[in-house]
């Protein structure tokens, strides 16, 4: 999938990324947007998911069948919910939350996920945890911020501190795809009995799915009946 250049919007975003979001203005281009984080034009530019995608990991497939990776090595999670493809300009929105500390973006992210979540088929929400050192550096957990807002919208409870990140790992984005699974292996610990529970694991972006897969593995070792992963954006391999 090609990434289309939007130089004017990139320039506007660069001017705004380090500042507090101005009420009533679009996050991406700065034009008036009194009722939403994004103006109508920028919303129209958000990259949608392909219509044919793997039912487990949402990667693009030919006819909506399971992808080769999930056939070869089935993931421990049962389903993935994603709102968008991780591409321009959606990546700028995620960065505004994750690195720009613009927590208003977490509200918007939860709003995108809420209509896609069937709360009647789930028992509780699990935010993907940060290691305490990373949490101190960043000051907040972006997945936790999205999860809190999604919990309010869906009525689902959050299982706070049930899934913990016990080992500091190299940032997944800094590693080749083939090394990411080993990087997170054994990094998480579960301290709750989830016997028979249907869990919703929240993260901002799924790339290789290695982190979500390791979390789902640990949660199922502690009794989870099913683990659905919900992300704002999915990076596609094709």
pLDDT digits (tens, 9 = 90+) for 26-67: 999 999 998 899 999 999 999 999 999 999 999 999 999 999
pLDDT at residue number 188: 94
Buried-state track 203-213, b at ≥16 Cβ within 10 A, e below 16: bbbbbbbbbbb
pLDDT at residue number 3: 40
| Structural domains of the chain, ranges and CATH numbers in brackets | 7-45 (no CATH), 48-234 (3.40.50)
Buried-state track 156-186, b at ≥16 Cβ within 10 A, e below 16: bebbeebbebeeebeebeebeeeebbebbee
pLDDT at residue number 16: 42
pLDDT at residue number 23: 62
d(CA 31, CA 60): 33
Give, for 111, the enclosing helix (H) or strand (E): helix 104-113
pLDDT at residue number 24: 84
Rg (C-alpha) for the chain, rounded Å, is 18
Bond into 75 cis (ω within 30): no
> Within 13 Å and on the Cβ side, how many CA atoms surround 35?
2
Tokens representing 218? 């640990």
Residue 138 has what DSSP assignment?
A: H
CA distances from 13 to 9, 16, 54 (A): 6, 5, 33
Give the residue from 175, 191, 180 showing the smallest Cα distance to 214. Answer: 180
> Residues in the chain with pLDDT < 70?
1-23, 170-179, 181-183, 238
pLDDT at residue number 237: 77
Give, for 95, the enclosing helix (H) or strand (E): helix 90-98
Task: Report whether 153 contacts 110 (CB < 8 A).
Answer: yes
């Amino acid at each position: 999938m090609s990434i289309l250049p939007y130089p004017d919007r990139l320039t506007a975003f660069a001017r705004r990324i380090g500042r507090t979001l101005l009420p009533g203005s679009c996050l991406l281009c700065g034009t008036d947007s009194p009722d939403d984080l994004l103006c109508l034009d920028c919303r129209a530019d958000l990259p949608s998911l392909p219509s044919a995608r793997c039912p487990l990991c949402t990667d693009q497939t030919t006819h909506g069948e399971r992808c080769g990776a999930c056939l070869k090595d089935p993931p421990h999670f049962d389903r993935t919910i994603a709102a968008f493809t991780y591409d321009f300009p959606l990546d700028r929105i995620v960065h505004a939350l994750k690195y720009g500390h613009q927590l208003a973006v977490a509200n918007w992210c939860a709003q995108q996920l809420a209509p896609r979540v069937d709360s009647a088929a789930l028992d509780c929400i699990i935010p993907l945890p940060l290691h305490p050192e990373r949490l101190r550096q960043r000051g907040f957990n972006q997945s936790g911020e999205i999860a809190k807002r999604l919990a309010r919208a869906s009525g689902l409870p959050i299982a706070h501190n049930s899934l913990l990140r016990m080992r500091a790992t190299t940032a997944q984005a800094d590693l080749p795809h083939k090394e990411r699974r080993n990087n997170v292996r054994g990094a998480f610990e579960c301290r709750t009995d989830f016997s028979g529970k249907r869990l919703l694991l929240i993260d901002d972006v799924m790339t290789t799915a290695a982190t979500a897969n390791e979390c789902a593995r640990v949660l199922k070792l502690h009794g989870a009946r099913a683990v659905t992963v919900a992300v704002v954006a999915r990076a596609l391999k094709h």
